[in-house]
Amino acid sequence: MGNWTRRGFIGSLSGAAAATALAAQETGGAEKRKSNGSIKITDLRCAIIGKNPTVRIVTDQGISGYGQAEGVKTYLKPMVLFYRDYLIGEDPTDVARIMLKIRRMGAFKPWGAAVSAIEIALWDVAGQAAGLPVYKLLGGKIRDRVRVYNGAVRFPMSGQTPQDYAEDMAKMKAAKEGFTLIKQAIGFHNPAMMKAIPDMWYDSPARSGPAHMDSGLLTESGLDYILSCVEAMKKVLGDEVGLSLDCGPGWTVKDAIRFARAVEPFHITWLEDIITGDYSPYPNAQVFKQVTESTSTPIHTGEEIYLRENFKDLIETQAVNVIGPDPEDVGGIAELKWIAEYANLHGILVAPHGVFDGLFGVAAHVQMAAALPQNYIAFEYPIGQPDWWYDIVDGLPDPIVNKGFIDVWDKPGLGISFNVRAAKAHLSDEDRTFFD
């Protein structure tokens, strides 16, 4: 095809497609054109940067893709590197083929996080190689801006009274991000709340082990206290800002039903993980269904679930009203999109979890949420922790969140990159060759 003919073809395109095609023609195209379409993975690396396990996929065309896991999973590095031999020599743009090799070796949270971070990094490479934002590779945009909800922007609380929770909500409502939806931990998901008054439930707190191990039947005074805190929070937010509640896991079915019915007048956006969730290795759809069918308050779960197969019962039995998979645990962003599409067929909404997903997690969420179906509500907005993360990443908008939304950007891949010189200063000695 001659140059005039190529330009004639490009002229028939419009908008971003024409710009992308012309740029490819004038500069030699995407990296894959340099070697007649061949691009291969040469290395898989993982560094703990701050607290986030950070994945780098290195290719023979000079393109690197990045993904992250939650900042609470500093132990994940050996699990990521376990998959190295499965990736070396593969074409990173064949994301589905690579995922068929490795997805079967993950599991429920936290053990699917390594696979999920790798999947996100593969999409970052694929987008850069194609010269397109990831959302284009996922089917294109449904929306130009994506709603987020607040789970990470927090303020110190002076106590655990209803008034303390009201004051906390006032601060979140006034936050610069302008959130239209806020999530607050209550009940067994909030150990401080459960210690606020004597005899909250008919058992004693667990002495050791991971968070959210406690469970049992609430006392009458315990249930009344939780309700008083919710009422105080909702009074501050009014009908201007939605309130969702991260509840457990650990509630009994009858307590969950009592509570869900009691908060119906407050129009709570959802009750999350009230039966199972977080680090539970099963979703318990039949029990959730009992709660869901007993109340008009929406019931939500899913952050710990790995892969579409494990959402099957929840979705097909309509056991919940909202699912909240985390792209950094469920198997990646394409996996979450598939689950969201299937949920949409069954009248179930999606609000992805993401509180600890980091700044590359923000980028992955934005690209994914742009392409999710119309059952999308909002994703849980992660922040950079520690604050110096904002100094080592280039490409994020400033401000990132405006009036509760993030505008979808169009740069290739995830659309953000490391400031390598600045980032190297934060690498441990063990990870000092991560960017080399």
Q: What is the pLDDT of residue 153?
A: 97
Q: What is the pLDDT of residue 123?
A: 98
Q: Return phi, psi of residue 57, to 5°.
A: -100, 120
Closest CA to 389 of 352, 356, 349: 356
Q: Which residues contact 119 (CB under 8 A, 6 or more apart)?
A: 67, 95, 99, 331, 332, 333, 334, 335
Domains and CATH numbers, the chain: 41-132 (3.30.390.10), 137-424 (3.20.20.120)
Say what the pTM is.
0.91
Q: What is the pLDDT of residue 37?
A: 65
Q: Is 317 exposed, middle or buried (0-12, 13-18, 19+ CB in 10 A)?
A: middle
pLDDT tens-place string over residues 236-270: 999 999 999 999 999 999 999 999 999 999 999 99
What distances in angstroms separate CA 20 from CA 278, 399, 416, one per listed residue? 42, 26, 18
Per-residue pLDDT band for 208 (boundaries 50, 70, 90) equals confident
Q: What is the pLDDT of residue 12?
A: 37
- 13 vs 247, more confident: 247
Cα–Cα distance for residue pair 90/118, rounded to 1 Å = 13
- 41-49 vs 52-59, strand pairing mode: antiparallel
pLDDT tens-place string over residues 31-57: 433 445 689 999 999 999 999 999 999
Cα–Cα distance for residue pair 42/349, rounded to 1 Å = 39
Q: What percent of the chain has pLDDT over 90?
A: 89
Does residue 9 have a pLDDT over 90? no
What distances in angstroms separate CA 341 from CA 310, 346, 347, 375, one per listed residue? 15, 9, 10, 8
Does residue 209 have a pLDDT over 80? no
pLDDT tens-place string over residues 284-336: 999 999 999 999 999 999 999 999 999 999 999 999 999 999 999 999 999 99
Element (H, E) at 47: strand 41-49
Does residue 356 have a pLDDT over 50? yes
Q: What is the pLDDT of residue 387?
A: 97
User: Angle at which helices 333-345 and 358-371 pack, to 10 degrees?
Assistant: 40
Per-residue pLDDT band for 23 (boundaries 50, 70, 90) equals very low
Per-residue pLDDT band for 211 (boundaries 50, 70, 90) equals confident
pLDDT tens-place string over residues 360-394: 999 999 999 999 999 999 999 999 999 999 999 99
Closest CA to 361 of 46, 126, 116: 116
Question: What is the residue whose two structure tokens read 């056991």?
Answer: 319
Closest CA to 351 of 260, 240, 244: 244
Q: What is the mean pLDDT of the chain?
A: 92
Q: How many Cβ atoms are within 10 Å of 431's Cβ, its own excluded?
A: 17
Q: Count the helix, strand and coil residues of the chain and give each as a percent rounded to the nearest 5.
A: 40, 15, 45
